[in-house]
Structures are given as C-alpha cells and as structure tokens.
A and B are shown apart, each in its own frame.
Chain A
Amino acid sequence: NAGVMQNPRHLVRRRGQEARLRCSPMKGHSHVYWYRQLPEEGLKFMVYLQKENIIDESGMPKERFSAEFPKEGPSILRIQQVVRGDSAAYFCASSPGSPDYEQYFGPGTRLTVT
C-alpha cells in the first residue's frame, strides 16, 4: 500500500507567481490535512478536507491560500501571488476517518520563493 504522495517535492517560484501543491492520500483514505513548517519551526495545521468539502480551515491565511479535494484526483493547495514569507515545507497527511484516526504524513513539498 503506497503511502501519502506529494508532488512536486521541491518547487521554486518567483514572487507574484502561483504555487500548486498536490497530495494523493493513501488508498482508502478520504480525509486530508495540510500543515506548514516554516524554517526552524514545528508543523502548523492549515486545513482539513474531506472529499469535496472543507471541514476546518482555521489555520489557513485569509488571503492568497486555498485548498480543495475534488471527488476525483488529488488534493490541491494553491498559493496565489507568492511572497518570500511563503517559503516553507508543506506537508499533507491523510486518514481513513476523523477525528479518532491516526494521520499518515507525506514527504512534503519544499517551496522556495525567490
């Protein structure tokens, strides 16, 4: 059973461009979580999605950030008009249910904004 997959693993964007990060959950998992790790910090929760629904986006910045988890295909975290402060590692996790299920983490996408 393949684990959580994220791509790309590394992404470089210039200021003002858009970044799209993809997450494919483990087989059989319909719950996806996104976390951000700023340099020298721990992971911080951003958003929790089920198929076609955003359940909790309390950790998402109010502007420029959006997330989706369509019926078909991976979950997407989109960052519009990136700024240097968006440079971070973005981790996705998945679980078969919530809230009592363990989350399994992907390898992360490292975003660098130049």
Chain B
Amino acid sequence: AQSVTQLGSHVSVSEGALVLLRCNYSSSVPPYLFWYVQYPNQGLQLLLKYTSAATLVKGINGFEAEFKKSETSFHLTKPSAHMSDAAEYFCAVRGTYKYIFGTGTRLKVLA
C-alpha cells in the first residue's frame, strides 16, 4: 500500500529564509508524487508533480522538490520565503484510483 508522511505539522520561518517542508513516501511501485498548497477556506492548488522524469522538479511560485529514491523522500523547498507563502501544504502520492494525502504542514512566515 502507498502512503506519505509529512514531518512537522507546523513550520515557522522568517521572511526571506529557506523553506523546507518534508515528505517521505512509501510505495511498492515507482511513485507519482505531488505537492499542493491550500489557502484558508480555499481549494487545492497544484504546486508541482513528479512523474518519473527529472528528479528535481520545479513548480510555481519559486517552489521546487527533489525526488530521492534512496531516502524515499520528496521534500519541498523554496530559497526565500514570502509572506504570501503562509498556507497549508500537502504532499500526496497517486495510488490505484485515488490520491493518498499526508496530514499537511502549516507554514507560518514571520515578518
């Protein structure tokens, strides 16, 4: 069975600092992995996806993620946090017929 684990339900960074949100996956087959962002009371916006092509995936809003098979990780990073990045972030893996989501990481950006 496939699953994802997001380490850290809350992360705080200063504006301009590096953002690192952690996601580890478990999958018996090559995984398709996704990162989504959700602003309060809104839907999901796809940030980026890994579909077995390049291991370093660039997404929207300056985010990127690196697929590391040896570490079963797909961590999300951004070099410099903006206040507008404050939101909840979800990692997901595609299973059979369904996406399996992590429990989310709420990112707080401090001025």
Contacts and interface: CB of A to CB of B under 8 A. Distances in A.
Interface of A: 33, 35, 41-45, 48, 55-56, 59, 91, 93, 98-99, 102-103, 105-108, 110
A42 B5 CA distance: 11
Contacts of A43: 44, 90, 92, 99, 101
Contacts of B104: 41-42
Given A33-B98, A55-B97, A99-B97, A107 B90 contact: no
Interface residues of B, number: 19
A15 to B, nearest CB: 23
Given A59-B98, A99-B96, A42 B42 contact: no
Contact of A45 (B90, B98, B103): B98
A107 B41 CA distance: 9
